[in-house]
Each structure stands twice: as C-alpha cells, then as structure tokens.
Structure 1
Amino acid sequence: MPTLPPSGRPEPHQHRRLAESFGSDAARYDRARPRYPDALIQRIVAGRPDLDVLDVGCGTGIAARQFQAAGCRVLGVEPDARMADVARDFGTEVDVATFEDWEPSGRNYDAVVAGTAWHWIDPVAGADKAARALRPGGLLAPFWNVFRFPSDLADAFAEVCRRVLPDAPFDLTAMTKGGLDSYRPVSARAVDGIRSAGRFDAPEQWRYDWEWTYTRDAWLDQMPTLGAFTRLPPAALTEVLAGVGAAIDARGGSFTMGYATVAVTAVRTDAA
C-alpha cells in the first residue's frame, strides 16, 4: 500500500499499542467521550437518510449511533475486539480489523467516516482503501473533536502533569491546552494522504464550534480515556486525577470546555 514519505519520527498510525489501548475500559470510553455536533452529521448525510456508511475506527459506536439515528445503515471497522463488543451491544455491526487490512469484499458505501480515529490510520493507505469502498461520488469524511480548556485550568492541569509525570512522553502543553494548533498537523496529514491517493477531488475542511459544561466527576470520568493516560500506572493516574479534581473544585466544581469539531472531506471521483 502507498504511504507518505517518512518524516523522521513515528507517525500516529505507527503507535499501534497506543491506538489499541482505549479498549482497556471500553464502557467508560463510551460513557464519557463527547459526541459530535448534529450539524456535522446532517451535512454528511445531506438530506439522504438512507445512506450506507462505513465508520472507520468506530470504537464503541459513538458516531455510528448518531448516523443510525439519522437513518443510515452503518458498518463499523474496529481493531479492538473489546471496543467492538460494546458497539455491537448498542446495535452496530462491526468487522474487527485494522482498516489497512480490512477488505471491502465487494461492499460499497455512500460515505466513509472516522470519528477521532483517522490519525491512527496510514493516511494514504487509508484514503486508497476508502476510495475502494466508496461508490463514485461517495464522501470520505474523517473528523475530530478538538478541546480547549479555560486558560486557568489548562495551566493548573499542566502543572499537575509536570509534577506527577516529569518524564511524560507526550507534549503537556498540547495535551492540556488543546486547541486547533495541536490538530493542524493531524488534519494536514489527512489532506496530504487524500491528495496522494489520487482518487478524490480537492479536500475541504469543515469546522463546528460548540461548548460543553463538565462537572468535576464527569471530567475525571473522561480523562482516563485520553490517549495520554490510557497506559499510565494506576498510582500515577490516581495522583493526576486527584490534582485535576482539586483544581476543578477550586473553580467551583465545574467548567465549560470549548470544542471545535473539524472535518476533512473529499468526494471520490469516477476514476477507478
């Protein structure tokens, strides 16, 4: 399969152990992770509720259920059997495989989507596989929820992580402050991959801004599902959560998170 030229450092899709770590507490992941704006779902559906949708890296089926609620038929592809089991429990059909290894086997779709998952997939191989699965004129639409903490909490959270995790292998500033700057390389890789595959029209980028208010307990429920924390030793995770919880308590016990949901979209051309 084609790939982008090497950048000199591992790309996200090469971190397979991290990519497949979210199933360690799949029920929590499904319960705590945010959903996606209805406006995005409706734009992808585009007034055609009877669509066949392939949900790549479907996880526990969060996005899949939103497309099903919009009237679509959905098949998920998910490498982690634990996540797939939860998705099936909620009524989503799932093939357990990495997308690079999954085969359409003659099945065709009107849309290929990926909710906060496309960065775990080789960007060119993924786009090429999506083109094989899409009907001519079908839409490829990977999308991500990008969070942005209030600045005072971002600083407090970063301090907690620096204290507990002085040798953390991730960027504390990007992880705690969030924001679109941290996701621009992700969306750029997706755009480059789609262009390199040579089977789509010019990619577009969509954006939806929204907010969500978290209680202390709701945020601490979600935090262990983030990639920076899924493989922490239990004692370190407990200490991080205690420090973050104290910072939220000092702020009154809740906070409003700013979100931007960003999508990279492209239409499959008629060329084989």
Structure 2
Amino acid sequence: MAESFGADAGLYDRARPRYPSALIEAVAASAPGPAVLDVGCGTGIAARQFQAAGCQVLGVEVDERMAAFARGTGVDVEVSSFETWEPAGRTFDAVVAGMTWHWIDPSVGAAKASEVLKPGGRFAVFWYVLQPPPDLGAAFAAVHREVLPDSPVNSQVAAAPLRAYEHFLDRAADSLTATGAFTHLERPTYPWSRHYTRDEWLDQLRSSGLAKPLAEAGKLDEMLDRTGAAIDAAGGSFTLDSTAVALTATRN
C-alpha cells in the first residue's frame, strides 16, 4: 500500500493537507543546523515547507513516481526504502517523517535515524489527523460500515481517527527508547484548520491509503458517492478543525 500513492502523484500533492507552520518552525528551530533528512518524502510536501523555513532537505522516497514529482518542485530525492538506504557517511541535523513513519520497520528505522543524526540532532515524526465535525464524522463512519461491513476498524477510524495515531506514536516511542540513543521524548500537538468542499474531500479520499483496497474490491466509487452524499446533506462543504500529532526526540 505504501507504494500505491504514486499512481497519481499530482492528485496526491494537490489533495493532501500541508502541515501546521508552527510544527515545521518548531522542528527547524530545535535542530542544531539546517540539514534535514525527510524520510518517505512523497511529493515533497513537508520538504518544501522545511525549505521555506530555511532548511536544506534531502528526501528518501521508495516510489520513483513520487520522487520524480518532488524533484520537479525543487526537492533533492534519493529513491530507496529508508531501511535499505545508504547514507554513505552523511549525517543530518534533523530526521523527519510526515505521515510516513508507520510504513517504516520501527526497530530498523530507529537504529538508522540514530546512525545518521548528529549529536544533538532532532528526530521528529508527525501525522495530521483528519477529524471532521462530530455529526459529519458519524456520517462518514456510517458510510464505512455500509460499504465495508467486514472492516469495523475502518468505521471506528472514520468516527475517531485520533485513536489510530496513538498506536503509531507508541510504537515509534518504544523503538527510539530501545536504541538507548535518544532523550527528551515528547509528544507535542498542533492545531490546524482547513475548509473542504465536497470535491476537495473526495480528492483527499482518492489519495488516501484506503483508495487502493477499495478500488481492488470494486467499492471505491460507492465509497466516494456515499461520502459525497453525506457532505451534500451537510451543506456541501465543511470546516475541519483538527490537530497534528508528533513524536520528537534528541539524539544523545
């Protein structure tokens, strides 16, 4: 699934939210220097934000299609999984990952992050949570139950997505602790808000990890139609007031 997002890299780059500026600025300010390694950089969304904050960014991306798009926007990218990527002696002031660290083998990823970070370097992985207003979240959950009746987890995530990310944070924290190479583990949160039209939300759904299994099951169009109908019933658009969650740490 991690390699499915490049099927339409342009859609992915257009539909995926940007990260809160306060998050980007906090990570950049806490790093001892400007050299940032962006793990699973995708189309370069976070990388470009770090560049705008004055950082020098190298991306590592497993999907050549995503990497090519990112290069077209001015991001330097090497194609590899992070687990097998060869740093060739290079070290960085920060290792970051936006919406991707859950695709990384936790123990291998933590060990490699400790290897490439300079002493005092900053580790920061983060996710934005797509938390619709309660009534609309309940409607989305109902759609998931109807379209995917055998996947109760999906409907729970649709109704309360923050819970899904708590597992990612726990797993990442445990793997960092196991290395013995990191201190000052923290879990800051950052509010963010965006107004979505019906079509913008459906584009986001098309670019999500659910799109490929839904398409393979022949249910993507049904999911889009029913989700669109729920948004139409709520007035055709909505404001998403949500949060971004992060795990940060400092390399010994």
Bin of the TM-score, shorter chain as denominator length: over 0.9
State the distance in 1 between where 2:148 and 2:30 align: 48
- CA deviations 1:225-262 (Å, max 9, x no partner) are 11122332275211111111111111111111122111
Higher mean Cα deviation, 228-237 or 250-259?
A: 228-237
Partners of 1:257 and 1:110 in 2: CA distance: 33
- Judged with a 3 Å threshold, the aligned counterparts in structure 2 of structure 1 residues 260 and 110 are, in CA distance, closer, same or farther, namely same
Q: Which residue of 1 aligns with 2:196?
A: 214
Task: Look up the match of 2:157.
Answer: 175
Range with greater deviation from structure 2 (75-84 or 202-211):
202-211
TM-score by length of structure 2 reads: 0.94
- Among 249, 252, 255, the alignment partner of 2:232 is 249
Q: Which residues of 2 match residues 70-109 of structure 1 at below 5 A? A: 70-109=53-92
Percent identical among aligned pairs is 55
Q: What stretches of structure 2 of length at least 5 have no aligned partner?
A: none
Cα distance between partner residues in 2 of 1:43 and 1:151: 30
Q: How far has the Cα of 1:179 moved from its partner?
A: 3.6
Q: Deviations over 1:158-179 (max 9, x none)?
A: 22222222234x7123331234
TM, length-normalised to structure 1: 0.88
Q: Deviations over 1:102-122 (max 9, x none)?
A: 111011110000001111111
Alignment length (residue pairs): 251
CA distance in 1, matches of 2:31, 2:147: 50
CA–CA distance in structure 2, aligned partners of residues 179 and 165 of structure 1: 17
**What amino acid sits opposite 2:49 in the alignment?**
Q
Q: Deviations over 1:3-23 (max 9, x none)?
A: xxxxxxxxxxxxxxx121111
Structure 1: segments with no counterpart, 5+ residues: 1-17
- What is the distance in 1 between the residues matched to 2:94 and 2:160? 29
Q: Write the mapping of 1:1-272 to structure 2, written as runs, cut at 5 A.
A: 18-46=1-29, 51-168=34-151, 171-233=153-215, 235-269=218-252
Offset at 1:144? Answer: 0.7
Q: Please identify, of 173-182 and 260-269, the stretch whose mean Cα deviation from structure 2 is larger.
A: 173-182
What amino acid maps onto 1:230 in structure 2?
K
CA RMSD of aligned residues (A): 1.7
Confirm or deny: 8 A CA contact 2:30 2:122 kept in the other structure: no
The 1:178/1:86 distance shift into structure 2, 3 A limit, reads farther
